[in-house]
Amino acid sequence: MRNYLIILLAVIFAASSGFFVVDQREVGIVKENSKQLQIYAPGLHWKIPFWGELTFIYTNLRSSYLASSQLLHTATGQTFSTNVVVNWQVVKPEVYFMYLNVNGVKNLDIQIASVVSNKLVNLANKSSSLSDFEERINSQLKNIPESELGINFVNIGLAVATPVAESAVPVDGLKTMSLESAFSFAQQIKQQADEKQQQEQEKLREKDSKFYDYFMKIYNLSNSAESKSEVPPLNQLYAN
């Protein structure tokens, strides 16, 4: 009798271990083999215990703060650098999951940055000025599907655009500089860039203080948050 009771308890424990809850901001994916995936909507579910690997995919809106990796040029020859806030979300969890499974999170970030960078370059080349570039971003870079990644770029918004002046020292002149002079010149460039960035941020604060606060919250969370549980939904982040 005692053995039967032990077996019964073991069966009950094993069966109960198959229950799991999918959060409202996620979907659950169980990888049963290399090709077959089972997707679970938010709610309480049960699967065969210890069968298949359960992964949770966050489907709510996310934001990435990206600095352009190259200088942009308008159609009239104006050169500038830019930082943008990219709002995106997973729309095809199975595609997104398989991409991560093969390539990893780091490559996903690189791919997102590459796609956004290409769009910025193309848009800049069609723009007559910085203000025209900003207007084109606000009107054109919305609801862009990226089927290879299983995501959708909901919105790409301009955070900072900094005009770049011609260097006071020709490139050939840099080759003949001493190490001390080159280092001093590099410090001057960095100081000027920091000052321009600060000026652009102040302009952004004056233009739209609510969006500036929203941008700074995202920036600070990207440096301090240790898990997704510490990041509130973006609609709450923008409202608070």
pLDDT of residue 66 exceeding 90, the answer is no
pLDDT of residue 114 exceeding 80, the answer is yes
pLDDT, tens digit (0-9, with 9 covering 90-100), for 11-46: 565 556 668 888 889 999 998 766 678 888 898 887
Whether 39 contacts 21, CB under 8 Å = no
The candidate with the shortest Cα–Cα distance to 26, out of 85, 96, 87, is: 96
Match 């840099």 to its residue by tokens: 174
Q: What is the mean pLDDT of residues 105-126?
A: 91
pLDDT, tens digit (0-9, with 9 covering 90-100), for 192-226: 777 777 777 777 777 777 777 777 777 777 777 66
pLDDT, tens digit (0-9, with 9 covering 90-100), for 179-197: 666 666 677 677 777 777 7
Is this structure's pTM higher than 0.85?
Answer: no
Q: What is the mean pLDDT of residues 40-68?
A: 84
What residues contact residue 66 under an 8 Å CB cut-off, 6+ apart? 83, 84, 85, 86, 112, 113, 116, 117
What's the start-to-end Cα distance of the chain, in Å? 61
Match 């489907």 to its residue by tokens: 59
Give the pLDDT confidence score for residue 193 in this predicted structure: 74
Match 């969006």 to its residue by tokens: 211
- In the chain, the domains with their CATH numbers are 2-58 (no CATH), 62-167+195-224 (3.30.479.30)
pLDDT of residue 240 exceeding 60, the answer is no
